[in-house]
Amino acid sequence: MSPRALWQEAKRLLEGAHGGDEVVRQVVVEDIAQRQGDPMLYRAVIQPDATPPAYALADAFDLYEREKIDESQGRGPRNRLARVRKQTEEALGKLSKLPIENLRRQHAKKLLDHLQYSKTSTGNPLSAETVRRELNAVRAIVELSLVEFDLVGTVANPFRKLEVKTSGSAPTVDHNARLPLIAKVRERLSRSKRPELLLIWRLLEGTGCRPSEISGLRLEDLKIDHDTPHIHVTWHEDRRIKTKASHLLTPLAGDALEAEQEAVRLAEGDLLPVESAFFSSLCSVFGPLLTVGDT
């Protein structure tokens, strides 16, 4: 916790204690001392009317998480914020010890340099677009804190208008970069007691569809007896799609076709529900598996 957060925690502990109610204050102080609590928390209880500590960059991240992270979007946004926070702390040190009012352009450039020299899990440098996205996240985090902490006009946001270097050449694609992930996910799913999970993964591999497009399939969307076996990705009550272009007829071949045939057999054997999207109940289970090794 930042010094400011500890100070606010002390105020919370003292809620209900008024003016000369030193008994309550003394009990809280003794409790902090016995637990070997933070000195800042101790001082805040002893001197509640003193000027509170300055907001730190850690407070800005905490604020952004409370105000901007939507739980309905799943783990992705929170995981991305945690990654940005980790990168920022690696570059600038403990965020709880860096007051927002002390932020300077050198801090922004230090983070930029750190990101440009960072590597992905496959050992490749971060792309210019990834670096730009991470910097934009920090800029937005600081911008929100300046408004909410009443620092506009007294503190400038040093993360504005940072120039990200690009090589000038088209990015290269390493087609093998994700293979360890695929093998890892396959091995993990093969041990699952729910055969549907591996079926979903095999269909994702074989068709290139989005997870929601596969998890939202109904029995009537599977055209395995057609001259060209395919799946029909379309709008229905259990699954929405983004645009008209998202209405797809996706051909099936090889392992993807075999996986779809297995899904039909499971459905016909009452091992999967057929009245609606028969993979839909697995969406929340399958989602976290897609983040294995995510960079």
Domain that holds residue 210: 179-291
Q: Mark whether 133 and 191 lie in a shared domain.
A: no
Q: 144 exposed, middle or buried (CB, 10 Å; 0-12, 13-18, 19+)?
A: middle
Which of 148, 167, 193 is the last residue in one of the domains? Answer: 148
For residues 123-138, b (16+ Cβ closer than 10 Å) or e, as one string?
Answer: eeebeeeebbebbebb
18 within a domain of the structure (yes/no): yes
Task: Give one word for 153, left, alpha or beta, with left for phi > 0 and alpha for psi -120 to 50.
Answer: left
State the virtual CA torsion across 232, 234, 238, 242 in degrees, nearest 10: 130
62 within a domain of the structure (yes/no): yes
Phi, psi of 143 (to 5 degrees): -60, -45
In this predicted structure, which of 46-50, 105-109, 152-156, 162-166 has the lowest mean pLDDT?
46-50
The pLDDT of residue 283 is: 42
170 within a domain of the structure (yes/no): no
pTM above 0.75?
no
The number of domains in the chain is 3
Q: What share of the chain is helix, strand, coil (3-state, %, to 5)?
A: 55, 5, 40
Higher pLDDT, 57 or 164: 57
Q: Mark whether 95 and 61 lie in a shared domain.
A: yes
Structure tokens that stand for 84 in this block? 């940005």
Q: Mark whether 42 and 81 lie in a shared domain.
A: no
**Shortest CA distance to 202 belongs to which of 259, 158, 139?**
259
For the segment 43-50, the average pLDDT, to the nearest whole number, is 61
Asked if 101 contacts 155 with a C-beta cutoff of 8 angstroms, the reply is yes
